[in-house]
Amino acid sequence: MSEYKLQVEYPPAIASYTFASDKTVVFQKMKELPDLIKSTEIKNEYDLAKAWADFAEQALIGEFAESKTKCWSGHYEQFGRVMLELMRMSRDKANEKNKAIFEMTPDIDNFTFIGQPGDTEDRTFYRIWFSLIGHPDYQYPRIANIEFGTYNYWGYLIGIAVNKVNAQLYELKN
């Protein structure tokens, strides 16, 4: 079984992100989630990021793996961090200054499923991520009709979350 790792000449900050490299993980562990999305297993921001990272990894291992090509472990952690940022965008929507992003971002009341990854629909998120990082088996998603709109909607928001995470990581570096 092969392993995929993003290789680009000028990688963005998120390309080398891992939980171990993140100086803010300790703060994520102290920051509780909104009650709407908290569960017995997922109580804080780090738990949420880790749950999404594990969910994505499970998609590429075992008997029912969606691909024979696994990812470098950091890519799963990057995805978890992006999903954490997507939750923050929803939670902190009232502070968003960009009107288009404000209008597209779901209210946390309508986005409670982010607190418990695992449903069939949740696969859309890691499939978008794998596509963004160039995983060879996710470059041409097989989607149709209403799924196409959903895929593009979440893809747009995930792209914004990636940009926000990159900005935060560059800020921490400097």
**Percent of the chain residues past pLDDT 90, beyond the cut:** 67
User: Do residues 14 and 165 touch, judged by C-beta distance below 8 A?
Assistant: yes
Average pLDDT taken over every residue of the chain = 91
Residue by residue, DSSP assigns 116-137 as S--SGGGHHHHHHHHHHTT-GG
Which residue blocks in the chain are alpha helix, DSSP H? 25-30, 45-58, 73-91, 99-104, 123-132, 146-173
- Tens-place pLDDT, residues 74-97: 999 999 999 999 999 999 999 999
DSSP state letter for 105:
S
Mean pLDDT, residues 44-51: 97
pTM: predicted TM-score of the whole model, two decimal places = 0.92
pLDDT digits (tens, 9 = 90+) for 108-138: 999 999 999 988 889 999 999 999 999 999 9
Tokens 């979350």 sit on residue? 161
- Domain range summary for the chain, segments of one domain joined by +: 34-173
Least confident of 8-17, 22-31, 123-132, 162-171: 8-17
